[in-house]
Structure 1
Amino acid sequence: MSTPFGLDLGNSNSVIACARNRGIDIIVNEVSNRNTPSLTAFGPRNRFIGESAKNQQTSNLKNTVDNLKRILGMEINDPDFETEKKYFTCPLVENKEGGISAKVRFLGEQQEFTATQLVAMYINKIKDITVKETKANIVDICLSVPVWYTEKQRRAAADACRIAGLNPVRIVNEVTAAAVGYGVFKAGDLPEDEPKKVAFIDIGHSSYQVSIAAVKKGELKILGTGYDKHFGGRDFDYAIANHFAEQFVGKYKIDVRENPKAFYRVLTAAEKLKKVLSANSQAPFNIESVMNDVDVSSSMTREELEEYIQPLLERVHIPIETALKDAGLSVEDIDSIEVIGGCTRVPSLKNKLKEIFGKELSFTLNQDEAIARGNAFICATHSPTVRVRPFKFEDFNPYSVSYFWDKEEEDDDHLEVFPRGGVFPSTKIITLFRKGDFEVEARYTNPSELPSGTKPVVAKWELKGVVPSEGETSIATKIKLRNDPSGFYTIESAYTVEEKIVKELVEKEAKEGEDAEDDESEPEYREVKKLVKKADLEIITHSASLPDAVRQEFIEKENALVMEDKLVADTEERKNALEEYIYDLRGKLDDKYKDFASDSEKETLTALLTKTEDWLYDEGYDSTKAKYIAKYEELASKGNLIKGRYLQKEEEKKQAIRQKQEAKQAAFMAEKLAASRQAAKEEPKPEEADVDMD
């Protein structure tokens, strides 16, 4: 049985949630943290993902990839690429599909991995963490993505899940997932008739999203959305870091922006300072030996921070106004403002939001975990083995999509099927008259609505098997178009229909005073013309998803890398076990084991320990798993003889103690029994009474 699993793939940190124990649990990682750094890194022998990647990031910047979800599904010629590139410390290059790959040094050579592969590596690590923590089978996943993701980016997210060995039952918008969690877990506070109008605001590490929702018990509808793709915690961090970088040029005559490692350390310190200023009016800023052995120190007040981030604060109102316009509402119509995302802890940002809405903000949702909890619940609704309370939700379609075909007998050659502002999931059926096989293409209707650089074509389909009826030049074709729960545009089915004459039962009217069922006359039929299905059509899809062959290649590559990582981890474990055994046995030879080994045995074993230790720190420092095992067994074959004598003696001591305790217990019981018998003898006998039998 698969445990429903939800992942909030954050740009800086990710949160995992599972539906179990009659609720939603947040899964902790291998170091017991409730969130995991969204990083994938590469070393000389293996990969580092999550916490291990964070631990080596400073020393391995060029081979560490962060900001993973910003480049997922992005093309190299995307106008946003130049903006995103500055946030990466590893080289980004164009791959053969026109997308983005990270160029890293791995296993002693330069290698390239696509953004989809990098995200898949990270998701696979998250899956491994979840399996180890829950001891459950993990197959299905609900993954959340930004509301501004296009079809191509959503498809890339689904592909990453599949490469990681997971079935993406749903790709859901991040703020929608949080809203679902609100609707499910705050049901007691929701009305049953007129929906409550709630603004959900999520400001995370890299983006700012707003959704206006109508929520009532058991039901949710997203009415409008807005976003700013380049507004988040990292922008605040860069504003602080650049301020200090300029200050250090004058104060210390160093420019940390020229040294990636130095600037990364300044960025890390800037993030800490931002968090300190969320609770304090002033904070120090100190870094030892930041660059050229120079120690730097400074400080910042909350007022200064607000001044440096003022250009960002002046844009706060724009996504809110867009979302309200889509929803057809004003700020006065909003009943509650639910705020999530780590960046919303900045006081000046909270004050700005409060000023825009003219009312207090609500923080009833967990700012860091709300999205993951909503994801886990959504995944559970798709599980055949988990019972969840009924909850219906519809999302907001941010981009209008039209379907196009070659013009034949129709007046038009296209139709806007899924308009902006419509809800999804949604299904539409259209009828076309075709002479033979044909193609259908989905395109974004209004390119001006799209994020810059998005290609207008969504997908193409080839429909085969169209054969007009005898004597006809064309045939009616029914096509079922779908904007599915994950926001993908698909053709769910297609078939031809033909007009046939069929017999239809004529329903008789009952005479006055009679029942129609009592009428014993013969049933009457009439002939009518009806459209009936003739044949299903073959549908060949050309979408933004990876081709099956490429996806399979990535799956095999990922599986091979997992095995390689496991071998490296096992080898390191065997090496550590050998090192530990050397020190442990050497210490015990002069202590616990000194009376259980002869002088010659000690001499031989000590020499072998020294020889093995020298090998371990010389030619054996980077050896194989098999050699470490062989060296361990060589030592253990001699050391365990001495250990066995010691353990035997210890067991004899324990046995003697047990026998002594048993003898003492037996003596005690015998003494107690004797005392009991003695007491019984000394009890006075009752006097006999004469009984008269007469």
Structure 2
Amino acid sequence: MASRTNVVGIDLGNSKTTIAVARNRAIDVIVNEVSNRSTPSLVSFGERSRFLGEAAKSQEASNFRNTVGSLKRLAGRKFNDPEVQEIESKFITAPLVEVDGLVGAKVNYLGEEAAFSSTQIIAAYLTKIKTTTEAELKGPVSDVVISVPAWFTNVQRQAVLDAAHIAGLNPLRLMNDNAAAALTYGITKNDLPEPENPRKVAIVDIGHSNYSVSIVAFSQGQFHIKSTVCDRHFGSRNMDKALIDHFAAEFKGKYKIDVLSNPKATFRLATAVERLKKVLSANASAPLNVEMIMNDIDASSFIKREDFEKLIEPLLNRVHLPLEQALKEAGVTKEEIDSIEVVGGCTRVPSLKEKISEFFGKPLSFTLNQDEAIARGCALSCAILSPVFRVRDFHVHDITTYPITFSWEAVPENPDEETSLEVFSLNNPIPSTKILTFYRKAPFTVTATYSHPEQLPGNITAELGKFEIGDVKPTESGDLSIVKVKVRLNLHGILQVEQAYVVEEQEVEEPVEPAPTAEGEEKKDEPVKTRKVKKLVKVADLPIKAVTETLPAEVFNKYLEAEGNMIETDKLVAETLDRKNALEEYIYDTRAKLDDIYAPFASEDEKTKLKGMLMDAEDWLYDEGEDTTKAVYIAKLEDLMRIGGPIRQRYLDDEEAKRQKIQAEREAAMAKLKAQADAKKKKEDAARAKAPTGKFEEGTGGRAPPPPPPQEETIEDQEMTNADETQ
């Protein structure tokens, strides 16, 4: 690959996010400010600023009421959605409210109660991801590919796009998780078969909150996803919940405390349970210890792996359902599957791996990095889409999870016309374009809906939008006009009604292909012949008025302005803290050096005055200076440096003088050695020139010639020797 810009892949996870970038002819996963290869998907609001990612995680325990997680589960959802109320609210510690028609969180921010929509919160987190990436790459970041679950609907995908744009990102594609993992798998394989006999691979992704299965056909330079099936409520957080309920019941009897009635105690137990589950993945048993869980009680317990597996048995009993459905929709049997590639952090649970392996009757494959495969696939996709990258030619053929139907009202002039059509069927490729034909005399409206509303998450509306086609008129003869409507599922998997236009049947001239000449016959130059044919020709574009569940422009602009203001607030707070730390560091550093390395360079008056100023500054810093402005910290530091600066400069000047003296001595010594070497060489050259020439063998450079080669004894010589001996 050769790059002139940064292209980035973002695996937007429910518990953590991984960032990958195409650079140095490879895909690298970048680390955050604490050198972790993934960043917690958390946004926290504080008294002075926001805390994003690692910062939110570090103070989550003390600020859990103002911390929001499970970000992508809230994308595009409404507050009254039953899944939000009954499921998601159990995994989010901040109170949920309605904001601008969307679900949001009520928090305390800058000392006041505030409410932010899910789109704003996701945008805040993506701002952090952008900042982290730019810090690592030391350059601006814009073009990205972001992963989303395959079960995301139109409105959920649009919400992620809106959040990304608010954060200053340019998403080239929203990519389904499994498609990203498939791209990581396929693009590195040099042994893929011909398209006639593709390699069939099951890609199983089980993460924090979602379980998805894709059946993928790989062949040279491409892959086709044949089916994707998801269980939206199956993941590591559900296993954590089973453990939390188990230990809460145990502590109720053991310690007489109701952990679930206390949000802080529940949070502490959840944190301990997450660690315990990871220990159980590699050990037969694990202890649980929670200090000061509630009522000053230190709770402890113990669990075996088999007991844990009994707790999650309801989940394990559902493992086969998405696998069976995916095979059915793809039209293949489990015996035809060549490989089972497993990704996602939850697939480290031994019993889960056993269940999947038992279903297929084959061992699982772990050639993909379980935590990073999706981010790497997104980065590869971004590089493929970016015009400034050169990537191995590899075609991605993804599919839509939900079929889409278009409907319209019949007109009296065409009573036999159908009034609905499933335009994009189940597993329809994306991107994909279809053209619908209508016969009309007046403006009309088409409505797009999901064909099976019962399959949608929660109460997400089945209607994708209404599209009014305007300026439709009868033909000059008063007949019905022929109207073409172009509809498209774009790269993001979002429905668009791109174009509407009127066509008329007209006679046009087209060239006639000349008859082929016989073999050996000379081709004659003849005038090009034409013929008149009737064709449908576009004669007018029509306006389209769309009514969809997208974020209104005024609300988007409000969010954009608010995010900009919060970024500035965060920046000011960070800079203020930096100046405060610089002042504190200067106080302690200068005081320590004043009686040490700075001592010879300061008079007693200077030392006394500076020590007094340092003492006063320290007292002020931990009293009224605990919380002040950036300008005040800068002024205090400058006051100290007016006295301490000259002392430090004298020390540095002395160090520089010493360095220069050492450098001069070193150079003098080197010059002396060089002079001695030159003199020695000159003396040797002179002695060589005076030596008599007869003492040197010609052609040997003054050395003795080599001894002559030994004479070979011939057969005749040997016979003569034998004869002499006989005599």
- TM-score with structure 1 setting the length: 0.94
Q: Which amino acid aligns with 1:623?
A: T
Instruction: Provide the residue aligned with 1:291 in structure 2.
Output: 294
Does residue 444 (structure 1) correspond to residue 450 (structure 2)? The answer is yes
Instruction: Provide the residue aligned with 1:469 in structure 2.
Output: 475
Q: Could you tell me how far apart the structure 2 residues matched to 1:538 and 1:187 are?
A: 49
Q: Could you tell me how far apart the structure 1 residues matched to 2:495 and 2:538 are?
A: 24
Aligned residue for 1:220, secondary structure, equals strand
Does residue 588 (structure 1) correspond to residue 593 (structure 2)? The answer is yes
> CA shift at 1:381, angstroms?
1.4
Aligned residue for 1:476, secondary structure, equals strand
Does residue 89 (structure 1) correspond to residue 93 (structure 2)? The answer is yes
Instruction: Provide the residue aligned with 2:154 in structure 1.
Output: 151
> CA shift at 1:395, angstroms?
1.9
Instruction: Provide the residue aligned with 2:644 in structure 1.
Output: 639
CA 434–679 in structure 1, closer or farther in 2 if over 3 Å, else same: closer
Instruction: Provide the residue aligned with 2:53 in structure 1.
Output: 50
Instruction: Provide the residue aligned with 1:692 in structure 2.
Output: none
Instruction: Provide the residue aligned with 2:622 in structure 1.
Output: 617
Q: Which amino acid aligns with 1:656?
A: K
Does residue 225 (structure 1) correspond to residue 228 (structure 2)? The answer is yes
Contact 2:192 2:218 in 1 (8 A): no
Query: Which of residues 602, 606, 619 is equivalent to 2:607?
Result: 602
Aligned residue for 1:188, secondary structure, equals coil
Q: Which amino acid aligns with 1:95?
A: V
Instruction: Provide the residue aligned with 2:724 in structure 1.
Output: none
Contact 1:211 1:224 in 2 (8 A): yes
Q: How does 1:169-188 map to 2 (within 5 A)?
A: 169-188=172-191
Q: How does 1:5-20 map to 2 (within 5 A)?
A: 5-20=8-23
Instruction: Provide the residue aligned with 1:486 in structure 2.
Output: 492
Query: Which of residues 534, 548, 552 is equivalent to 2:553?
Result: 548
Instruction: Provide the residue aligned with 2:634 in structure 1.
Output: 629
CA RMSD of aligned residues (A): 2.4
Query: Which of residues 186, 196, 199 is equivalent to 2:202?
Result: 199
Stretches of structure 1 lacking an aligned partner (at least 5 in a row): 690-694
Contact 1:394 1:423 in 2 (8 A): yes
Q: Could you tell me how far apart the structure 1 residues matched to 2:530 and 2:593 are?
A: 101
Q: Could you tell me how far apart the structure 1 residues matched to 2:243 and 2:518 are?
A: 90
Q: Could you tell me how far apart the structure 1 residues matched to 2:213 and 2:106 are?
A: 35
Does residue 31 (structure 1) correspond to residue 34 (structure 2)? The answer is yes
Q: Could you tell me how far apart the structure 2 residues matched to 1:420 and 1:676 are?
A: 89
Aligned residue for 1:620, secondary structure, equals helix
Q: Which has the larger radius of gyration?
A: 2
CA 670–398 in structure 1, closer or farther in 2 if over 3 Å, else same: closer
> CA shift at 1:132, angstroms?
1.2
Contact 2:340 2:364 in 1 (8 A): yes
CA 194–684 in structure 1, closer or farther in 2 if over 3 Å, else same: closer
Aligned residue for 1:566, secondary structure, equals helix
Stretches of structure 2 lacking an aligned partner (at least 5 in a row): 695-727
CA 631–407 in structure 1, closer or farther in 2 if over 3 Å, else same: same
CA 595–451 in structure 1, closer or farther in 2 if over 3 Å, else same: closer
CA 389–678 in structure 1, closer or farther in 2 if over 3 Å, else same: closer
Instruction: Provide the residue aligned with 2:538 in structure 1.
Output: 533
Greater CA drift, 405-414 or 677-686 = 677-686
Instruction: Provide the residue aligned with 1:658 in structure 2.
Output: 663
Contact 1:509 1:516 in 2 (8 A): no
Q: Which amino acid aligns with 1:427?
A: T
> CA shift at 1:189, angstroms?
5.0
CA 280–466 in structure 1, closer or farther in 2 if over 3 Å, else same: same
Greater CA drift, 35-44 or 386-395 = 386-395
Instruction: Provide the residue aligned with 2:440 in structure 1.
Output: 434
Q: Could you tell me how far apart the structure 1 residues matched to 2:687 and 2:104 are?
A: 99
Greater CA drift, 294-303 or 572-581 = 294-303
Contact 2:119 2:162 in 1 (8 A): yes
Contact 2:192 2:219 in 1 (8 A): no
> CA shift at 1:144, angstroms?
1.0
Q: Which amino acid aligns with 1:486?
A: H
> CA shift at 1:315, angstroms?
1.1
Aligned residue for 2:298, secondary structure, equals strand
**What per-residue deviation string (whole Å, max 9, x for no partner) do you get for residues 120-155 of structure 1?**
111111111111111233211111111111111111
**What per-residue deviation string (whole Å, max 9, x for no partner) do you get for residues 212-257 of structure 1?**
1111121211112221111100111111121111111111112221
Q: Could you tell me how far apart the structure 2 residues matched to 1:368 and 1:510 are?
A: 61
Instruction: Provide the residue aligned with 1:141 in structure 2.
Output: 144
CA 517–432 in structure 1, closer or farther in 2 if over 3 Å, else same: farther
Greater CA drift, 619-628 or 434-443 = 434-443
> CA shift at 1:385, angstroms?
0.7
> CA shift at 1:67, angstroms?
0.6
> CA shift at 1:507, angstroms?
6.5
CA 632–311 in structure 1, closer or farther in 2 if over 3 Å, else same: same
> CA shift at 1:330, angstroms?
2.2
CA 207–682 in structure 1, closer or farther in 2 if over 3 Å, else same: closer
Contact 1:510 1:516 in 2 (8 A): no
Q: Could you tell me how far apart the structure 2 residues matched to 1:580 and 1:244 are?
A: 46
Q: How does 1:393-472 map to 2 (within 5 A)?
A: 393-408=396-411, 409-410=413-414, 411-472=417-478
Q: Which amino acid aligns with 1:475?
A: S
CA 681–268 in structure 1, closer or farther in 2 if over 3 Å, else same: same
Contact 1:508 1:516 in 2 (8 A): no
Contact 2:98 2:117 in 1 (8 A): no
Greater CA drift, 528-537 or 85-94 = 528-537
Q: How does 1:565-580 map to 2 (within 5 A)?
A: 565-580=570-585
CA 272–682 in structure 1, closer or farther in 2 if over 3 Å, else same: same
Contact 1:2 1:139 in 2 (8 A): no
Q: Could you tell me how far apart the structure 2 residues matched to 1:450 and 1:233 are?
A: 22
Q: Could you tell me how far apart the structure 1 residues matched to 2:367 and 2:684 are?
A: 73
CA 17–658 in structure 1, closer or farther in 2 if over 3 Å, else same: closer
Does residue 349 (structure 1) correspond to residue 352 (structure 2)? The answer is yes
Q: Could you tell me how far apart the structure 2 residues matched to 1:686 and 1:500 are?
A: 109
Q: Could you tell me how far apart the structure 2 residues matched to 1:113 and 1:417 are?
A: 37
Contact 1:44 1:107 in 2 (8 A): yes
Instruction: Provide the residue aligned with 1:244 in structure 2.
Output: 247
Aligned residue for 1:86, secondary structure, equals helix
> CA shift at 1:322, angstroms?
1.5
> CA shift at 1:377, angstroms?
1.0
